[in-house]
Structure 1
């Protein structure tokens, strides 16, 4: 929770409840599309038209916002998605009812990216960034202490930040360790290097 209280940017999240109170949050549409697709193809019983329509409309919404389509057309699409969820909120099928309610209960976070085109509609970038760390943890069986886990997480964060800023992470680590050993002020991660 300390991270969530200190973080001032936008969170792009799955449906995990701990994130619900963050004021600047985008719900990952890829997660919702996967749930809708599972409904559409009948993973939970008979196929659902609601799931099929939701997959189509959420994908269209992402495409239209990305392409900068007519705001009136985007607004109509958003209204259609909301109406479809409202119509299915009291459906007999519990999975259909659950997904419709989940979307409506988190509505502002579902469509936050529409007002801010720089906000990604999915958390795919974050999941891709974590993929190597998750695989490494799985094959190495993790660390032996909480301190080791915190160090590993912080190190991966610094390395990834350096790479995104096109800075050599190992040169920065060297400068950081040298400054710490000399009791000097620790350097910040350099700003992005121009190409």
Structure 2
């Protein structure tokens, strides 16, 4: 080969090597860009997964009421809390939204004969003789007969009475100055007991904000007032009811069984807790900035009777305060169902827990003897211990087992205490009204507002629990008469 030919070949090889090197560099750049894109995509997907897991944990867990499932907005007052691993969600304490739609259709069953309340006796009869024919436009008179229709209505504005009380002033021989009193004459302000009672009921039963109540005073009573006046009226009501509120607290302290629960309730935008304490005849609400056992000491006393039972969920404050507890089977059953729906490993566990609870509740309904109760409780305790000793691989199932294990000694109190329920439903039902009020009012504004709120809601709930008429009771005590 000539030198020219050899030089030409070497030049060609050099060009090829250069082209190959350039191509490799381009391919490396492309791969690097692809890697960066994939890394960004993985990061984005990981963030989406974390968001979905957080959403799943918040809205699709056994402690979430039906009204919150499906991605409903987070309720005010709800806050993630650090504490015992056996902690319960405060939202389920309220047992769900009482205003949520029911699964059953409203009204009577098909084919059920209806009833109509008979109208009251009329105070006045108005006879209308003239009629108008819309086709030929004639005015008709001298009817052949009459069609009766009884109408119930109220006049607007609502009639009010204005009474001036001349209260005698006396000077007692002991030196005291005494002013005569009348039950319908309030010691302060110009509104009587009926208006004060209706204002309190409108606020805490009908759930009307002060602004809307002020509008109703103008529209219905033809008596304009300010928002502050409405607030002052509810404060006067709460001041009159506070001694009765304290009496209820004392009665709860003396009870053999107290059903407890709590839910978030903001005060001036800061997280607080609305607690409820329920007995057979009383319902007490207590709003506090703490969710700890100190609240239980404030309400139930530092030395709550050792033989008394607290019914509660798994929140650690209860076990820190008292040793004799009844853990709520409704919470446990819901969580077992939730885990069993997702993991086959938990199906038998859920079935065993439900069957055990059904068997125990049927047993106690038969009013067995004390010795039979003790024997049945011992057998049930062995059953639970056998369930938690089995090996489970899924983390969620293991957490459920830990919940059962942490509650050993507290799941079966109702077996040997005839007056104790197996669930905490009494407290949860009582707490529902607080959840609805929180949704309506969003937050309480001050310590004074807290006292008004807890006092009036306590008395309304207690009167209803005792089978008494709240309006009648309010008018009675505000009029200075004896309160039952």
TM-score by length of 2: 0.34
Instruction: Find the counterpart in structure 1 of residue 389 from structure 2.
Output: 86
- Where is the helix percentage greater, Structure 1 or Structure 2? 1
Distance 2:351 2:468 in 1: 45
Deviation of 1:143 after TM superposition, in Å, equals 2.5
Distance 1:36 1:124 in 2: 18
Structure 1 SS opposite 2:443: coil
Q: Would you say the 8 A contact 2:328–2:423 is kept in 1?
A: yes
Matched, 1:58 2:357: yes
Instruction: Find the counterpart in structure 1 of residue 379 from structure 2.
Output: 76
Counterparts of 1:33-52 in structure 2 under 5 Å? Answer: 33-42=333-342, 45-48=343-346, 49-52=348-351
Deviations 1:36-55 (A, max 9, x none): 1112222xx44512233222
Deviation of 1:18 after TM superposition, in Å, equals 1.3
Aligned length: 179
Counterparts of 1:1-195 in structure 2 under 5 Å? Answer: 1-5=293-297, 6-7=299-300, 8=304, 9-21=308-320, 22-42=322-342, 45-48=343-346, 49-68=348-367, 71=373, 72-73=375-376, 75-88=378-391, 91-177=392-478, 190=484
Deviation of 1:141 after TM superposition, in Å, equals 2.1
Q: Would you say the 8 A contact 1:86–1:104 is kept in 2?
A: no
Distance 1:52 1:17 in 2: 27
Distance 1:86 1:62 in 2: 24
Distance 1:38 1:53 in 2: 14
Structure 2 SS opposite 1:11: strand
- Structure 1 gap segments, 5+ residues each: 180-185, 191-195
Structure 1 SS opposite 2:452: helix
Distance 2:337 2:404 in 1: 15
- Where is the strand percentage greater, Structure 1 or Structure 2? 2
Deviation of 1:113 after TM superposition, in Å, equals 0.7
Deviation of 1:14 after TM superposition, in Å, equals 1.1
Q: Would you say the 8 A contact 2:377–2:416 is kept in 1?
A: no
- Radius of gyration: which is bigger? 2
Distance 2:417 2:440 in 1: 39
Distance 1:83 1:127 in 2: 30
Deviation of 1:126 after TM superposition, in Å, equals 1.7
Deviations 1:3-51 (A, max 9, x none): 4114245321111111112233211110011111112222xx4451223
